[in-house]
Structure 1
Amino acid sequence: MSGIYIATSSEFVLDLAKRCKSGRMEVREYLARIGYEGPTQPSLENLKAIHERHILSVPFGSLSIHCGERIVPEVPLLYRKIVEQRRGGFCYELNGLFSWLLEELGYRLSLLSGQVRNPLTGRFGPPFDHLVLLVEFGDGRRWLCDVGFGNAFRKPLPLEAGRAERQDNGVFALHEEGGSWELCRTPPGGSEEATLYKFTLEGRRREDFRPMCDYHQTSPSSIFFCKSFCSLHLPGGMITYMGKRLIATEYRPEGEAKITTELTEEQIPHILKERFGITLRNKLIPKDQDIVPPSTDY
């Protein structure tokens, strides 16, 4: 087996779970992975700082799918990949593991089912298309957390309909109608608001997301299956690898400035290591195919 993250049996998962209980998974190692050295007691200030450090440290993307690794959303496996192997992942991995960290730190939270809006077709994906977190404080305040979505907010958003919040990478607002919430973003220097995804407040279990985790590894209607990519937030911008391209985005008052560099296949492993801190154990097969729109608008 070339990468320990590739789970092939239930016995392997159980073995890692036992090692987790014996201290294999450690909060301090997780915090070191994201470069967080501040206080950890539950508070809004600390939550914002930890959330932002996570966004600026752990890449979001689909690389595992394109180097022959099956993604199994078991927390011990996610810890091994993201913390010990210093890799990234998609929402079921990043928010799945982040929820464990927050629980260990004493936060009360719920897992929510989101549906991502395709910016080209305007259609929403199926239920459980996206995993989102909601943290609730003792005074009843609730905050949306998401460290597993490409260009979403960097700091948690208060669950308040119609309230716009400006952050480094745009203006974010939540809208609610009939129990369905939508997250919208206006890019820096832009004037048009676009919906990123919608969600409801019904609490879910981790295992509820398993079928859609498999779907995104195999469906031609999923960006994760159709494109090999990863992205990382930076102070003042973002960097994205996709297919055989590197896209550097700088946030300016007048708008987003993008510089695209074409890559050879030989350059890609070096770019991933130097710009994203990722070293892959298996060979990556670059992919950048068109996404097939789903037949149904959910």
Structure 2
Amino acid sequence: MTRIGDEVVHRYLSRLDEPGRPRVNLATLVRLHERHVRRIPYHNLDIRLGLPTDVDPAGNAARLAGGDAGYCFHLNGAFAALLAALGFDVTLHRGQVKKAPALPDGVQFANHLTMTVTLEGRRWFVDVGLGDGLLGPVPLRPGVVRHPPLTFGFAEAAWGWRFTHDPRGSFTVMDWEDRPAQPHDFAEAHHVLSTAPTSTFVRRLIVTNRGPDDVVWSLVDCQLTRIDGDGVHHRVLTTFDEWRRELEDTFLLRLDDGHTAGLRRLWQRLPRQRSIPAG
């Protein structure tokens, strides 16, 4: 993995409200992970606006340090680069997010980049690129983990590991290989996901983050969803100004006047839908 420079490290840490270079320990990993998923949203806005990106971890670390965000290849790649620059022992892995439980086990199409960190004699599963996923790192072992308001499962398999999402989450499972991967292993999948007409990322706008007070927010096209301790709540956004305000205030997207024309064109293309009753 290409190392990132001290300036990028400093700006990245500043975005995570980390005033200085932290120690390499579990407390640091937990703190940076939680701040990352609360402050840097998961989104495919670049794809929907026709803005090219790649899977280079160092380049994406610079993008995030400058205020941008992205989806798994950008978020996890950048965070892995930051952790490596700080001195953590990081390993990348090929993963596959699946929405249909009938799909074959294992990884046939690496549509997800994930990572493990070896620290204090133990391996930790670390992932800031699942959108409505983990709040913090998890010891790599079979079992159930609760990060309110969601609950996740981990199971070991011959090919690696299976992460099972909460039933209210955005997908069913994410399988990942235990063997190490390299950044270039994800280039083809990124190209397909960001250009193919059949790709969900090309057809739908998807934005997700973990808000304060154990809340998970997601926006799919015009529908805003909040998951909290009381259940799942949906609301359809009906005006451009309301939609943009949610992007900036709820999802913390840094939008400037240069985005306005593209956002308005995207808003006009989004499918309109009725609100789903809260459940």
Partner Cα separation in structure 2 for residue 107 and residue 150 of structure 1 = 23
Task: Give the match's secondary structure for 2:219.
Answer: strand
Partner of 2:82: 101
Shift of 1:94: 0.3
Residue 202 (structure 1) aligned with residue 179 (structure 2)? yes
> TM-score, with normalisation over the residues of structure 2?
0.83
Match of 1:241 among 197, 201, 219: 219
Partner of 2:148: 168
Shift of 1:266: 4.3
Partner of 1:3: none
Q: Is the 8 A contact 1:226 1:288 kept in 2?
A: no
Shift of 1:250: 2.2
Residue 216 (structure 1) aligned with residue 193 (structure 2)? yes
Partner of 1:110: 91
Partner of 2:17: 35
Task: Give the match's secondary structure for 2:124.
Answer: strand
Partner Cα separation in structure 2 for residue 59 and residue 122 of structure 1 = 29
Aligned residues: 259
- The verdict on how the C-alpha distance between 1:142 and 1:81 changes in structure 2, with shifts beyond 3 A counting, is same
- The verdict on how the C-alpha distance between 1:165 and 1:274 changes in structure 2, with shifts beyond 3 A counting, is closer
The RMSD of aligned alpha carbons is 2.6
Match of 1:269 among 222, 229, 244: 244
Q: Is the 8 A contact 1:133 1:145 kept in 2?
A: yes
Partner of 1:123: 103
Residue 179 (structure 1) aligned with residue 159 (structure 2)? yes
Tell me the percent identity.
Answer: 24
Flag structure 1 segments of 5+ consecutive residues without an equivalent. 1-16, 290-298
Residue-by-residue CA offset, 1:105-129 (whole Å, 9 max, x unaligned): 111011000011114x743674321
Task: Give the match's secondary structure for 2:94.
Answer: strand
Partner Cα separation in structure 1 for residue 98 and residue 65 of structure 2 = 30
- The verdict on how the C-alpha distance between 1:214 and 1:131 changes in structure 2, with shifts beyond 3 A counting, is same
Q: Is the 8 A contact 1:61 1:224 kept in 2?
A: no
Q: Is the 8 A contact 2:61 2:77 kept in 1?
A: no
- The verdict on how the C-alpha distance between 1:93 and 1:274 changes in structure 2, with shifts beyond 3 A counting, is same
Task: Give the match's secondary structure for 2:12.
Answer: helix
- The verdict on how the C-alpha distance between 1:257 and 1:113 changes in structure 2, with shifts beyond 3 A counting, is same
Shift of 1:76: 4.5
Residue-by-residue CA offset, 1:244-285 (whole Å, 9 max, x unaligned): 222233233xxx231313232343333322222220533131
Residue-by-residue CA offset, 1:23-59 (whole Å, 9 max, x unaligned): 542x221111122358721112221111011010000
Residue 148 (structure 1) aligned with residue 129 (structure 2)? yes
> TM-score, with normalisation over the residues of structure 1?
0.78
Flag structure 2 segments of 5+ consecutive residues without an equivalent. 272-279
Task: Give the match's secondary structure for 1:95.
Answer: helix
Task: Give the match's secondary structure for 1:47.
Answer: helix
Task: Give the match's secondary structure for 1:276.
Answer: coil
